[in-house]
């Protein structure tokens, strides 16, 4: 096992160029090995570093997801509150005959 493989893993969502910081340099400074978090299995076969040891990183503005504007809830109209007439079979349909 190489020296690099024995380092604890920092699972970080890739691609790594989306971060403001140089994540490879941060990993080296913190003695961590970066693995794409999207590819880490539930029970990884390697030692994952505790979250408290993970460096703090920020995503570049151009890669942040666009914020969706909140739509105001539509007011109910009287027609929306009314239940359809009939026995629930369908509008204009006769109930099945037995």
Q: Is 13 part of any domain?
A: yes
Classify residue 42: in a domain, yes or no. Answer: yes
Tell me the average pLDDT across 31-60.
Answer: 91
Tell me if 2 is assigned to some domain: no
pLDDT for res 66: 83
Query: pTM for this one?
Result: 0.60
Residue 3 located in a structural domain: no
What whole-number distance in Å separates Cα of residue 32 and Cα of residue 45? 16
Higher pLDDT pick, 17 / 77: 17
User: 1 vs 6, 55, 88, CA distance in Å?
Assistant: 7, 25, 69
Q: Quick check: is 76 in a domain? A: no
CA distance 58 to 21: 7
Domain span at residue 52 reads 9-59
Residue 82 located in a structural domain: no
**Domain contains 66:** no
Query: CA 58, 15, 17, 69 torsion: positive or negative?
Result: negative
**Residue 52 placed within a domain:** yes
Q: How far apart, in whole angstroms, are the C-alpha atoms of residue 35 and residue 1? A: 17
Name 46's Cβ contacts closer than 8 Å, sequence gap at least 6: 5, 9, 35
pLDDT one-digit tens code per residue, 30-42: 999 999 998 888 8
When divided into structural domains, the chain yields a total of 1
């Amino acid at each position: 096992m190489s020296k690099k493989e024995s380092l604890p893993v920092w699972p970080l969502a890739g691609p790594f160029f989306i971060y403001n910081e140089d994540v490879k340099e941060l990993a080296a400074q913190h003695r961590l090995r970066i693995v794409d978090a999207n590819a880490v299995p539930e029970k990884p076969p390697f030692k994952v570093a505790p979250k408290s040891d993970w460096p703090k990183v920020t995503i570049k503005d151009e890669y942040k997801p666009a914020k969706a504007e909140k739509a105001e809830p539509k007011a109910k109209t009287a027609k929306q509150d009314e239940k359809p007439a009939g026995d629930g079979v369908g509008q204009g349909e006769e109930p099945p005959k037995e």
